[in-house]
Structure 1
């Protein structure tokens, strides 16, 4: 193997290494290497041509001096190899420059492509966000529009109902207007009747006074309840007293319910109680005095008089609201029971915390199971008889 062939193989090996080192380059780098290989092939052909010429030249100079031919041939080979080596270096330098340029260009293009890809990705994400926001706004707008339509429909229905109602009211008003004169006349007649009733009630109230009625029944009419009969007593000083309570022979059971004491019970000519509701109505119509006559077992009597007797209504449990000033020969025990509510065995309104005073001592305005026990068991009482009367205070009759 001669020297040109060795150099050619060496050059091809270098080119092969360069091709392998840049095998990952793109198609542009591959084309450049391919063009250089074409150039090298041309160089190879040129070298082969010179080799053939050299062989021909050697054949022609066979007759000349062997040493002179070898020297000339070597000089030519050295010159040719020097030229080839220089061309090879230039080509390699060009290839390196082109490779560096291509790599830098590819790097820049890759960076630009990555940046462009990132920009596109960012734009796509922004577009997706904008799309979501638009969908949300569109959905909200749809909901809002639906709500507005529903509100409008409700308002329309309300207006229809109001219009219908106004039509009905207009018809009713027309009907009422047609009867207005008659209604006014009826109201006027009712008003006149009410005035008459008030006047009659006032006259009936004044008739509650038992003046000049000695032991006779007397009809009393108070506003709010039906008229009722009571007994007038003329034996007491100055007369005019209305009997409200009488107990003297234990012929009547006074251990009664709340309802009995509210409505009253008994016979007004025997033992009886007028009733808390009637007593409330009477004592609230004007100022009344209270007279209590007490009979003892030793056949003696005592009395207790109060100048302003008044009780409350059922809402207050018929509270003993007022007694006024006391005069009399009996012991004063009523003021101890002032302001408590009325109690019965089935309606415990007393102030005692551990006992129902009415269940043990009888119905009364119990404070704390006090001393006045006229409605208890007859054999437990300290008196033989008790009668109670009321009348309007002296200046009112």
Structure 2
């Protein structure tokens, strides 16, 4: 009987053929299915997970969670919140946020859902909050509107309308995105100065934007009029640009009278120092080499007695600053042995000094017949030799820019001639000689 029963069960399941063999028939095989007691559980939505990461939103999770509860037959706040705890990822931002919620927010799903929307808003809500914050800071109220009593169609004064618009924009900004204290600290300094004076308090005194807007709406034009008038009577705030410390004044600054000895703050500006010239003989060349060693680390300047190469033309006389000779420009200079870089820079400074070439100071340098150099010890000898012998206008006359003045006692002496000594007769009877008012060369 057991065999028959077993064979009958196999026939019912479709595992045997008509002849009772154990070979199954693929064409007639039927799958074995197990009847489940809870069919709804099979068709239910999978339990969604929520971690609260930056790329997740509460709105999408909330829709999945409600579908999950409906498919499982979970009804009621208590059951939904218990299932919600299983949806939270372990040690996640959402789990820590749920632990920090107050007990009333955990009692009902409506309050929990509202707190989740506030904590993780949608992209549209975030953009709307940013736009509202920008519009709030751009809200403008001019000082002329503070004392206007004309009301619009809404029955509000300009100040009251400004307070209403500010409050509506601030209400659209979630507190989790931008705190109330940050909104007030950013909005309060942008108010008109008379309005800030009329409020008589700092931004930290207002806890919410509602309190600040209520205080602004209470102010009437009569309350704001004294502050507007006092603002208009104040002298304008003139921003003074501090002077550059490198500026040099044409005249020395007068000391401020006081009980102490004060000094001028301007830098002392002396006259330009004439350059040093040397003869073309061996002694003059050696003196030129020694002078170059002295100014090796000195920046070229018109206030320095710069040594010039023997045989070159005076600076500022239309010469080529690259080789020190005339009859060509520096752009066409083909000299194989150009001047040192520092001397070229010195000659460029003399050329750019701005004085006309027709008015140049002629300096008579008297060289002895033995070719004495222009050293300090030979300055008196050179002056005596220049008095005894006739001057050589081609070598002894050095015409320089009139900016090169020579200190003579307590006054500056500028010897200007109308005739170019290199072009005209070269008469230098009135020229200043070395040793007569010119500073000793070092």
Into which bin does the TM-score normalised by the smaller protein fall? under 0.3
Pick the structure with greater CA Rg. Answer: 1
Q: Whose relative contact order is higher, 1 or 2, with alpha carbons under 8 Å and at least 6 apart?
A: 1
TM-score normalised to structure 1 length: 0.27
- TM (norm. structure 2) is 0.25
Larger relative helix fraction: 1
